[in-house]
Amino acid sequence: MKTFSLQVNGQPRTVEVAEDTPLLWVLRDHLDLVGTKFGCGMSLCGACTVHLDGQAVRACVTPVSAVGERKVVTIEGLATNGKFTALQQAWCDLDVAQCGYCQAGQIMCATALLNEKANPTDEDIDLAMSGNLCRCATYTRIRKAIHTAASK
Amino acid sequence: MNTPILDRRGFFRVTALASGGFLLGWNAEAAEEATAAAFSPNAFIRITPEGLVTILAKNPEVGQGVKTSLPMIIAEELEIPWEKVTVEQAPVNQAAFGQQMAGGSMSTPNNYDRLRRMGAIARTMLVEAAAKEWGVPADECEAMAGEVIHKPSGKKLAYGALAAAASKLPVPDERSVKLKKVEDFKLLGKRIGGVDNPKIVTGQPLFGIDQKQPGLKHAAYVRCPVFTGKVKDADLDAVKKLPGVTDAFVIEGTGDHYGLLPGVAIIAIDTWSAFKAKDALKVSWEAEAKESFAEHAKKAAEAKPGEGKEIRKTGEPEFPDDGTITAAYHYPHLSHANLEPQNCTAVFKDGAIEMWAPTQNPGSGIDGISRALKIPKEKITVHMTRIGGGFGRRLMGDFMVECAAIAQKLNGTPVKLTWTRDQDLGHDYYRAGGWHHFRGRVDDAGKLVAWADHFVTFGLNSDDRPGNGADLGGDEFPSRFVPNLFLERTIFPSNTPLGWWRAPGSCALAWAIQSFVDEMAHAAKKDPLEFRLELLGEDREVPPSGGRGAPYNATRMKGVLKLVAEKSGWGEKLEKGRGRGIAFHFSHLGYVAVVADVTVSKDGKLKVNKLTAGVDVGPIMNLSGAENQVEGSMIDGLSAAWFQEITVEQGAVQQKNFHEYRLLTMKDAPQVEVHFAKSDFPPTGLGEPALPPTAPAITNAIFAATGKRVRSLPLAKQDLSWT
């Protein structure tokens, strides 16, 4: 077990875990941030997507020892003072979710996309979002919500 | 008439205790305080003197939207604006709430009338309380938007102000209360966002896997890859020495598919330590690693007409070589692949178990725990969490029983069991693969006159009884619609557990049947839509044979066929390589027809451009949720037909993760369009019925585009190239 100091959603956090522990399980089991979801453990579904210095990464294959100084942002860290981001709002307004399990990862991935491309085309969305599975298949609403948020 | 009041209070004490800290911000003390003056005429509704209106959502939420739509039904009759309602998940208490499960698209048909009456009871009592307060006749008063209004004087009292007085009134019989007129509905039929949406988009703990308890330990459970295999030897000492591991032990289990599978439990300080130890565990098994899907398939391909056991014979089904069309269809096993892997959290204390479970069917978990662990049912408390996908997988209680067995052993320490993805794919209750050997004949007028199907399916170690969800009923279409019919079946005994997968039976049968119907339409040289309308025949309701099962309303099915044809531009001439296909299916009391529009490149690359659905399920509860269900069902149907296949070799499932068991992604998602028929029939459910007709609409469209008839799934394994 080793001690790691992390910056998570703007807060300094310290954990004592095995150094190969994926960031996913650090967040979920040690930091009480369970919005980041476990789906596959092999970077195949996107449910665990978080940001490291603004870049979307899969927390299930990111060992905590590889995080270093980079700032971690999770789904819990998107809204500021209870105010939703345009994407979170669009997700609610368009009632995107069915079971909702994948949606945190979808929103984190879409947030990174909009940070890079303020007005993504359908092809941009296909490219950025096709690593995020939705078992309920809410893809058409996800696409629409990204366009809606981008237009705000 | 004091008894109902006592009952209500008695009930309240029970919920307060049973729900514990599970209901947000709800503790026993506050509950007691609220109980004193709150108005709660039944288990579903609570109105405090401050005017807080809480409606309990009785059934598990798997993504089908019932946590929103069922409370909407109550709110409609209660005459309370939706913004003023707080929805809470109900505790498991089937005596108070009725059956609590998510399956068979039955939440709406089973609850619509009763929940309206629950809301109407509260409204009636609030009106009566106001009338008493004012000393006026109740029929001069009306409930509207959370207030009671005395119409002649314009006096108003809010529900909160009436709560204490209303709670002292006798509760009227639910059959006696007056329901609103459907044309006066303000809420039902509107687009309402899911009640958990704000929590979902901010990552709040909602799901089974998110549950926490003080001092929680994390468990992994290692089962034999071969179903029902037993632990021969496990090196527990080595595993116990691994970092983070606090305990490891063998669970003997019950040895059957529906009990508790034997295995090795590993307990750790976090999930990762448990998973790592699971991978490091040295264990040997006692199992018969024999079963091979490939061998089943070889045998099934050789099945001959007349060799099966008769399911139904109508008229004189004869199939002379001249004029008989034959075709064999095959579809594979499927896994549910819920994105939230199976998991459960439990604590065992003083002989009682309390658990937090993402279950579609708490009753089956309770039964299973009671059977396998000899814990009396009244000592088992289950809290229903939100569920990261059901699709039928979580009707089974296996993961709850496993967690309970581990918790029992840990005696007093709360534990969360989490399955890995390969365990989830490897220990499912699978949608049964099957084979259909069809024969069919049309007459000179192009009418379907004879139909036969030798259906080959699986039974759980039985050649007599089909596995769960693996049967072909005697009334399955086109039975009852064709004068001469012969249905027979052969069952292969298999040790692979089978189960209910979204639209059980229908999810597979509709593809094969609606594909062969399409073949018959082409044999008859008729437009596939026209052929289907003629096959359905006159406007009428066809009763089930033997008086059991649901009648088949030909009028409604023809209605959705015409609706979807009109909306999808059916009949337009398209260039080669692009085509439209149509299919319909009746299941779960719902009538759905789908048109698929596809393009297939010469080298066989498939693009599904659009899926359009015509749906008749009676009046819609929540339009947003309803559309979402149909959109998702269609894309799920496409995803499964395109990519998915579970194979069993040497007794074990071969697919380990999403690279081997693919789900459709954003780039392949077609446009989807949903049209609901205006319908006065009683409302029915939507979690399932739009899925079955989707796959055949797509493969029929592929035929229209390329001239290639797809007779085997998944599509990804078929050669669709054309010249």
Question: Tens of pLDDT along B75-108?
Answer: 999 999 999 999 999 999 999 999 999 999 999 9
Nearest CA in chain A to B198: A92
CB-CB under 8 Å, A22 with B639 = no
Mean pLDDT of chain A, nearest integer? 98
**What number does CATH give the domain B3-188?**
3.30.365.10
Residues of B whose CB is below 8 A from A4: none
Residue limits of CATH 3.30.365.10 in chain B: 3-188, 215-288+342-418, 469-484+498-717
Residues of A whose CB is below 8 A from B663: 133-135
The answer to whether the beta carbons of residues B364 and B441 sit under 8 Å apart is no
Neighbours of B409 (CB within 10 A): 17
Q: Quickly name the fold that domain A86-150 has.
A: DNA polymerase; domain 1 (1.10.150)
CB-CB under 8 Å, A141 with B628 = yes
For Cα atoms B469, B591, B538, give the angle at the middle one, nearest 5 degrees.
120
Q: What is the interface size between A and B, counted as CB pairs within 8 Å?
A: 196
CA distance B719 to B723: 12
Pairing, β B217-223 against β B263-268: antiparallel
CA distance B621 to B82: 13
Query: What's the Cα-to-Cα distance from B263 to each of B256, B460, B648, rounded to whole Å?
Result: 13, 21, 20
Looking at the complex, does the CB of residue B361 fall below 8 Å from at least one CB of chain A?
A: no
pLDDT on residue B8: 35
CA distance B487 to B533: 23
The answer to whether the beta carbons of residues A72 and A48 sit under 8 Å apart is no
The residues near B573 (Cβ < 8 Å, ≥ 6 apart) are none
Which residue, among B663, B45, B623, B105, has the nearest Cα to B335 in the 3D structure? B663
CB-CB under 8 Å, A17 with B272 = yes
Which residue, among B18, B41, B42, B44, has the nearest Cα to B31 in the 3D structure? B18
Q: Quickly name the fold that domain B469-484+498-717 has.
A: Aldehyde Oxidoreductase; domain 4 (3.30.365)
Residues of A whose CB is below 8 A from B338: 101, 135
CA distance B373 to B252: 11
Residues of B whose CB is below 8 A from A47: 339
Query: What's the Cα-to-Cα distance from A150 to each of A85, A87, A147, rounded to whole Å?
Result: 11, 8, 5
CB-CB under 8 Å, B210 with A141 = no
CA distance B282 to B236: 8
Neighbours of B684 (CB within 10 A): 22
Neighbours of A2 (CB within 10 A): 12
Distance from CA of residue B165 to its chain's centroid? 41
SS3 B715: helix
The answer to whether the beta carbons of residues B646 and B430 sit under 8 Å apart is yes
CB-CB under 8 Å, B667 with A42 = no
Residue B628 has its nearest CB partner, among A28, A107, A138, at A138
Q: Quickly name the fold that domain B215-288+342-418 has.
A: Aldehyde Oxidoreductase; domain 4 (3.30.365)
Residues of B whose CB is below 8 A from A74: 203
Alpha helices in A79-138 (DSSP H): 86-93, 103-116, 122-129
Nearest CA in chain B to A100: B200
pLDDT on residue B12: 34
Per-residue buried b or exposed e for B353-375, using 16+ beta carbons within 10 Å of the residue's own CB: bbbbbbbbbbbbbbbbbbbbbeb
CA distance A27 to A42: 17
CB-CB under 8 Å, A29 with B270 = yes
Query: What's the Cα-to-Cα distance from A76 to each of A41, B199, B351, B402, B578, rounded to whole Å?
Result: 21, 10, 38, 31, 45
pLDDT on residue B25: 29
**Angle (deg, nearest 10), helices B66-78 and B107-134:** 30
CB-CB under 8 Å, B667 with A98 = no
Phi, psi of B106 (to 5 degrees): -100, -5
Q: How many residues does chain B have?
A: 723
**Residues B569, B572, B576, B582: is their CA dihedral positive or negative?**
positive
Nearest CA in chain B to A20: B272
pLDDT on residue B35: 53
DSSP letter for each residue of B45-109: EEE-TT--EEEEE-S--SSSSHHHHHHHHHHHHHT--GGGEEEEEPPS-HHHH------TT-HHH
Cis-peptide, bond into residue B619, ω within 30° of zero: no
For residues A120-126, average pLDDT: 98
Residue B664 has its nearest CB partner, among A34, A79, A137, at A137
CB-CB under 8 Å, B631 with A99 = no
CB-CB under 8 Å, A101 with B389 = yes
CA distance B431 to B417: 25
Phi, psi of A115 (to 5 degrees): -65, -30
Looking at the complex, does the CB of residue B59 fall below 8 Å from at least one CB of chain A?
A: no
Nearest CA in chain A to B385: A99
CA distance B456 to B609: 33
SS3 B142: strand
CA distance B119 to B71: 9
Report the gap between the CA of A40 and the closest CA in chain B (Å). 5
Query: What's the Cα-to-Cα distance from B133 to each of B120, B121, B137, rounded to whole Å?
Result: 20, 18, 10
Residues of B whose CB is below 8 A from A36: 203
Segment B541-583, tens digit of pLDDT: 999 998 888 999 999 999 999 999 999 999 999 999 999 999 9
Helices (H) and strands (E) in chain A, counts: 5, 5
Share of chain B above pLDDT 90, in %: 94
Query: What's the Cα-to-Cα distance from B264 to each of A137, B228, B253, B258, B279, rounded to whole Å?
Result: 35, 13, 10, 18, 12
pLDDT on residue B255: 82
CA distance B59 to A129: 32
CA distance B77 to B83: 15
CB-CB under 8 Å, B671 with A79 = no
Segments of chain B scoring below 70 in pLDDT: 1-36
pLDDT band with cut points at 50, 70 and 90 for residue A1: very high
pLDDT on residue B546: 83
Looking at the complex, does the CB of residue B536 fall below 8 Å from at least one CB of chain A?
A: no
CB-CB under 8 Å, A137 with B631 = yes
Residues of A whose CB is below 8 A from B629: 98
Residue ranges covered by each domain of chain A: 2-77, 86-150
Does domain A2-77 fall under CATH 3.10.20.30? My reply is yes
Report the gap between the CA of B594 and the closest CA in chain A (Å). 17
- Assess: ipTM above 0.95: yes
Amino acid at B15: T
CB-CB under 8 Å, A21 with B339 = no
CB-CB under 8 Å, A39 with B203 = no
Looking at the complex, does the CB of residue B619 fall below 8 Å from at least one CB of chain A?
A: no
